[in-house]
Amino acid sequence: MPAVLSRWKAWLMHPAAKPLLFVLCLLPFANLFAGAVFDTLGPNPAEALIRAMGDWTLRFLCVVLAVTPLRVQLGLPALARFRRMLGLFVYFYAVLHLLCYSVFDQGLDFGEIWRDILKRPFILVGMLAFGLLTALALTSPHRMTRWMGARRWQRLHRCVYAVAGLAILHFFWMRAGKNNFTEVAVYGAILALLLGWRLQRWLRKRWATVRPEVSR
């Protein structure tokens, strides 16, 4: 096991690691783009694109939230190098999800989009999640950390947990109409596990700071 971990550490620090990850993250987009060009997305390609972009947004969100647990549990600090890129890919697929909905489903009619937001709660929740993601994407550059200050920047970027909750709620309400909750349960379980890991770690740290005061 130590030998495997040392190999992983070497690979993660390799100069080609980031470009390779970038290409891998673009593969779902390339596959869907090719499907649209060659008409292999099924009888309703517009709906297939909207759903697929949403699914990939959720998948990348799970990957981003898994970076810290994996880094800590496996002792791979180099994983932190990829968190920003993965976070921006969450936003990339969220933008594509919103664009596909706006163009293919609503014909880029902003009045109709606004009415749809007010009429359907799952659209409203999705828009709220997208708004938070936009704030996180705009403040992701390193210079924004210096400009905002580390504490305020960290406080803002904890909104990723709210994004995760809103994303699952958006997905749940969207699938509720068809009474199909299997995928919702899978994503919900993954995100609950990842957020639960963070909660217990925070509680452990909190208890470690409180215990010395209690023992006095």
Its domain, for residue 163, covers: 2-209
CA distance linking residue 168 with residue 174, whole number of Å: 10
Residue 202 has pLDDT above 90, yes or no: no
Give me the number of domains the chain comprises. Answer: 1
CA-angle at 14, arms to 6 and 153, nearest 5° = 95
The pTM score is 0.90
Which pLDDT score, from 0 to 100, does residue 212 have?
57
Q: Is residue 113 part of a domain?
A: yes
DSSP conformational letter for 175: H
Which pLDDT score, from 0 to 100, does residue 50 have?
94
pLDDT, one tens digit per residue, over 124-165 is 999 999 999 999 999 988 888 888 888 888 888 888 989 999
Which pLDDT score, from 0 to 100, does residue 211 have?
61
Residue 88 has pLDDT above 80, yes or no: yes
The first and second tokens of residue 139, run together, are: 């403040």
The first and second tokens of residue 23, run together, are: 């290409």
Cα torsion angle, 13, 17, 22, 26, sign: negative
Q: Is residue 170 part of a domain?
A: yes
Q: Is residue 52 part of a domain?
A: yes
pLDDT, one tens digit per residue, over 59-84 is 999 999 999 999 988 888 889 999 99
